[in-house]
Structure 1
Amino acid sequence: MAKSTTTKVGSAIGRTVVYIILYVIVSAVVKFLIEVLLPSVHLNAVSYESYIQILLALAFGYLIVSGISLIFYYSLLPKYGHPTAAAVRNVMRIIGIGALVAAIAGAVAGGAAGVALGGFIGIVIGFASQQVLGQAVAGMFLLIARPFKINDNVNLVGEDGIVEDVSTLFTAVIKSDGTKVLIPNNAIIGNKIYLKPVQQQQKSS
C-alpha cells in the first residue's frame, strides 16, 4: 500500500513537471511562429499572440494546479485517509486557480497597473469564494482533528442525529425520523459539539 502511494506521488510529481516543461516549450514555439515564422511569409498575427498565450497559460496552469493538488492528495492519503486528503486537494485547487487567474490578469495589464489589477482580482475571487473556501478549510480541520466520527450520535448546531458522512463542505447527519441534514462545516467549527454517550447511542439504535 505504501509503495503504491509512493508510486502515485512520484507519478503526480512527474506529470506536473511534464506539464511545466510542455508549457514552456509550447509557449516558446507559439512565440517563434507568430513573431518570426509568420512574418517571413507576410502573415501578421502579432496582435493575437497575447490572447493565445493567455489561453495556453489558463490551460497548462489548470493542469499544473491539478497536478500539485494531486501531490498533496496522495501524500496525505496514507496517514489521514481519503476524506481529509480530498479536502486538502480541493482547497489547494481553489487557491491555485484563484492565484492563476489573478497572476494572468496582472501580467496582461503589466507594470504597476498589472500588480494593482492582479491584486484587485485576487481580492474579488477571495470574497467570491470566501464561503466555499471557509467551509472547505473547516471541513479539512474537522477531518484532521476528528472531534466526531461516522456513526457517532451527536448534536451539531442544534441538530440531533447520527453522523453519516463528513465531506469537504458539509457534514451529513441522519435524524431519528430519517431526515438527512447537511450542516456547513464552518458552522460546526464555530459552535459547540455534543457527543452523546455510547449507552444513549445504543438505546436509540
Structure 2
Amino acid sequence: MSQESISSRLRGAAASLILWVVLYMLVNTLIFATLPSYIPGFKELLEPYSTYVGVGLALGFGYMIVRSASNLAYWMLRLRHPHSTAAAVRSVLTILGVGALAAAVAGGAAGGAAGVALGGFIGMVVGFATQQVLGQAVAGLFVLLVRPIKIGDYVMVAGEQGVVEDVTTMFTIIRKDDGTLALIPNNQLVGSKIYVIKRGS
C-alpha cells in the first residue's frame, strides 16, 4: 500500500474519531438538555430511565470511539511498520479500550466508592478471564516489534524446526520440513530459546 493511500486512510480515521466524539456530545446534549427544555413532560418521562439511557449512550458511542481511536493508531503505525505490527497494536488497544470503557461505565453508573469497587471488580474478572489471551497478545506484540525472527527465516523454536511462514498477534506459524504447519503460541516463543539457523531473504 502506498504512503499516499495510508495518509488518506489516516486522515479518514482521524475524521471518524472526531465525528464519533462530536456525535456523542450532540446526542447527549439533545437528550438530556435540549429536548427536556422544549418538550413539556419529556423530563419527567426521561427521569426514571436517565441512568440507563446514559449508560446505553456511553457504551454505544464509547465503543465506536474506542474503535476509531484504535484504527487511528493502526494507520499511524502503518506509516512506518508493516500490517502485522500495526494490527497487533490495534487489537491490544481495542481490548484495553473496551475494558476501560466497561469499567468507567460501571463506575459511573454505581457512583462514588461503589463505582470504583465495581469497576475494579469487573477489571479483575476480565483480567482473569482473558489472562492467557492477553498474555499471548502482549507476547505477540513484543515479537512483532522486536522481530527476533522474520518471515522466511529457518528457525528452531519451542522444539519445532522449519521456515517461518507468518507472525501474528497470537501465534508464530512455522512450516516444518515435512510440510506440516506448527502454530506456536507467542508466549512460548518469548519464553524459549530461538535458534535462527538461516536468515530468509
Fold match (TM-score > 0.5): yes
Structure 1 match to 2:114: 113
**Aligned amino acid, residue 160 of structure 2:** E
Please give the residue correspondences for 1:108-187 in structure 2 after superposition, counting only pairs within 5 Å. Answer: 108-187=109-188
Q: CA deviation at 1:43?
A: 6.1
Q: CA deviation at 1:10?
A: 2.1
Q: Distance in 1 between matches of 2:170 and 2:91?
A: 10
In the alignment, structure 1 residue 58 sits paired with structure 2 residue 59: yes
Q: CA deviation at 1:151?
A: 1.9
Query: What stretches of structure 2 of length at least 5 have no aligned partner?
Result: none
**Aligned amino acid, residue 195 of structure 1:** V
Structure 2 match to 1:46: 47
Structure 1 match to 2:93: 92
Say whether the 8 Å CA contact 1:38–1:45 is kept in structure 2. no
**Aligned amino acid, residue 64 of structure 2:** L
Structure 2 match to 1:13: 14
- CA shift digits 1:108-166 (9 cap, x unpaired): 00011111111221222122222212211111111121111112111111111211111
Q: Distance in 2 between matches of 1:130 and 1:74?
A: 27
Describe the SS at the equivalent of 1:80: coil
Say whether the 8 Å CA contact 1:34–1:44 is kept in structure 2. no
Q: Distance in 2 between matches of 1:106 and 1:71?
A: 27
Say whether the 8 Å CA contact 1:149–1:163 is kept in structure 2. yes
Q: CA deviation at 1:185?
A: 0.6
How many residues are matched? 199
Q: Distance in 2 between matches of 1:72 and 1:61?
A: 16
Q: Distance in 2 between matches of 1:6 and 1:58?
A: 30
Say whether the 8 Å CA contact 2:35–2:42 is kept in structure 1. no
Q: Distance in 2 between matches of 1:146 and 1:51?
A: 46
Structure 2 match to 1:23: 24
Describe the SS at the equivalent of 1:79: coil
Q: Distance in 2 between matches of 1:84 and 1:36?
A: 50
Deviates more, 1:131-140 or 1:95-104: 131-140
Q: CA deviation at 1:26?
A: 0.6
TM-score, with length taken from structure 2: 0.90
Q: Distance in 2 between matches of 1:37 and 1:134?
A: 52
Q: Distance in 2 between matches of 1:81 and 1:41?
A: 52
Q: Report the aligned-residue RMSD.
A: 2.0
TM-score, with length taken from structure 1: 0.89
Q: Distance in 2 between matches of 1:41 and 1:78?
A: 49
Structure 2 match to 1:75: 76
Q: Distance in 2 between matches of 1:55 and 1:107?
A: 12
4+ residue stretches of structure 1 with deviation over 3 A? Answer: 32-39
**Aligned amino acid, residue 143 of structure 1:** L
Q: CA deviation at 1:69?
A: 0.7
Describe the SS at the equivalent of 1:196: strand
Q: Distance in 2 between matches of 1:84 and 1:130?
A: 21
Query: What stretches of structure 1 of length at least 5 have no aligned partner?
Result: none
Q: 1:177 to 1:42 in 2, by over 3 A?
A: closer
